[in-house]
Amino acid sequence: MDKKVPGMSISRLFLLVVGMVAFATTVAANTVISPRPLPRPELHGVAPVAAPSDLAVAVSLRPAMRVATAALMRAPVSAANRVDAAGFQDWLRGFTVRARDAGIGRATIARAFDGVSVNARVVERDRNQSEFTRTLWDYLDSAASDTRVASGRSALRDHLETLAAIERRYGVEAEVITAIWGLESAYGAVRGSVPIIDAMATLAYEGRRRAFFEAELIAALRILEAGDIGPDEMQGSWAGAMGHTQFMPTSFLAHAVDFTGDGRRDIWGDDPADALASTARYLSQNGWTHGQPWGLEVTLPAGFDFTQSGERIRHDAAYWNRMGVRLADGGGPVPDHGPASILLPAGHTGVALVIYDNFRVIETYNPADAYVIGVGHLADRIVGGSTFRGGWPRDDRALTHEERFELQRRLTAAGFSTERIDGIIGPLTIRAVQDYQAAEGLVPDGYASAALLRRLRRG
């Protein structure tokens, strides 16, 4: 059931309008492309909406992808799953039977697969995913750049009425929806132009993640059958994310809404209303609390007990205030919005955050810390918030894909089990790093740095 919340407060609305007027003259057409952070499967059984975006690969960020398939995405291509036209037709015949069994009508299947073929561009993208990784601060430089902030204010101004109505209906703040829109498609500028049926059929046939992509293809057929869009207009990124806020077909079926009331859930067209409302509904259905921050920058007192940091440790605001944690902005106490964690995404020398339950809700969209912080920070800045006051260890580099595996192997071998060796620095690995640091007499901030890996190599 939709939550009923009061509309935007007068003060927030005022802030929005002031911000928009100030920036109205500086905003140019937005061509910034979506930076996509790393997937972080340790945390969630919940699949994020998003999948790799072809443009994300172009900016050399590891694309986000479904939790269950992150590892499979890296599986080597074997002779058994090479693509060829005859094999594709064989697969298609079998799939057609499965689609019919799933209740898809004959006419829909015929229309969808008229002229379908292996999409060479999709195969190419899939096999050449970048292993390049970025630090959080490099990511945030792009995710919440002055250009993206200014474009966000412009987008919010242009769609203020719609976004305010969405906020009233679903209880998700207009600037949060705007920020997701900004990261997923640069406010609609980059929605993807790959035919989704071709892409899903190609990836299903190619075979490494057949069950996953056949399920997405069935969902895509259901969308066609429902009449929301025609096969030619159903476009998106090479891995299936569609429209202004990059919904996978299954996420579309679960969450998309016809907000405009024209009878179609149109997340692809120029009018973003349905896509923005669908995103709000997604967050609402995943537990969003209106009025609760995603997180706030804080300062930690001298002598802070860093073993209490990390996403898995939660205390109420009174606890953190007794510890001496204060807001970076103004030095006030940590506000009470329920259980909260202290997050140190770049270790004890970088920005410190107190994070609330809404942080976890954004994680359901994309589980990477970088993405969640990017969305939250961009949203804050769109409504006039400042840049982070704390610094980042900018001389540090990101660990490579191989180094992250090595770190986990070495921690586990040293008696600090990461529970999984998957190359993903999530809460379990961070906890193992903290335990190792504590045993070594280091500050137990859980920061998986290159320096820490060097120390582990020395034994």
DSSP helix/strand/coil, 146: helix
CB of 1 to Ca ion, least distance (A): 21
Nearest approach in angstroms of CB 175 to Ca ion is: 23
Looking at the Cβ atoms of 138 and 271, the one nearer to Ca ion is 271
Q: Is residue 130 part of the contact set for Ca ion (CB under 5 A)? A: no
Region of 58-66, 206-214, 250-258, 390-398 interacting with Ca ion (CB under 5 A): 250-258
Residue 339 CB contacts under 8 Å (≥ 6 apart), including other chains: 314, 315, 316, 356, 357
Selected from 138, 158, 225, 258, the binder of Ca ion by CB under 5 A is 258
Q: How far is the CB of 399 from Ca ion (least distance, A)?
A: 44
Of 70 and 277, the one with the shorter C-beta distance to Ca ion is 277
Please state the closest distance from residue 157 (CB atom) to Ca ion, in A. 22
Per CB under 5 A, 228 contacts Ca ion? no
Stretch that binds Ca ion, among 144-152, 176-184, 262-270, 381-389 (CB under 5 A): 262-270
CB 183 within 8 A of CB 49: no
C-alpha span between 196 and 218 (Å, rounded): 11
Closer residue to Ca ion in complex, CB, 233/419 = 233
Measured between alpha carbons, how far is residue 115 from residues 223, 315, 391 in Å? 19, 57, 54
* Backbone dihedral region for residue 291 (phi beyond 0: left; psi -120 to 50: alpha; all else: beta): left
Which residue in the shown chain puts its C-beta closest to Ca ion?
260
Q: What is the smallest separation between the CB atom of 258 and Ca ion, expressed in angstroms? A: 4
Nearest approach in angstroms of CB 233 to Ca ion is: 13
Q: Whose Cβ is closer to Ca ion: residue 64's or residue 229's?
A: 229
Burial classification of residue 341, based on how many CB atoms lie within 10 Å of its CB (0-12 exposed, 13-18 middle, 19 or more buried): buried
CA distances from 49 to 162, 243, 361 (A): 22, 12, 12
Q: How far is CA 449 from CA 322, 325, 399, 401, 425, in A?
A: 30, 25, 7, 13, 11
Q: Which residues of 114-125 are buried (b: 16+ CB within 10 A; e: fewer)?
A: eebebbeebbeb
260 binding Ca ion? (CB under 5 A): yes
Is residue 274 a contact point for Ca ion (CB under 5 A)? Answer: yes
Minimum CB distance to Ca ion, residue 222 (Å): 17
DSSP bridge pairs for 296: 354
Listed ranges 148-156, 272-280, 308-316, 390-398: which one lies at the site for Ca ion (CB under 5 A): 272-280
Question: Looking at beta carbons only, is 54 or 266 nearer to Ca ion?
Answer: 266
Q: Is residue 262 at the binding interface for Ca ion, with CB under 5 A as the rule?
A: yes
- Of the ranges 107-115, 175-183, 233-241, 264-272, which one interacts with Ca ion (CB under 5 A)? 264-272
Asked whether position 271 contacts Ca ion by CB under 5 A, the answer is no
Residue 230 beta carbon to Ca ion: minimum distance, rounded to whole angstroms: 15
List, as one string, the DSSP characters of 49-93: S----HHHHHTT-PPP--GGGHHHHTPPP-GGG---HHHHHHHHH
Contact indicator for 13, 341 with CB cutoff of 8 Å: no
Q: What share of the chain is helix, strand, coil (3-state, %, to 5)?
A: 50, 5, 45
* 190 vs 267 by CB, closer to Ca ion: 267
> Which residues contribute to the site for Ca ion (CB under 5 A)?
258, 260, 262, 264, 266, 274
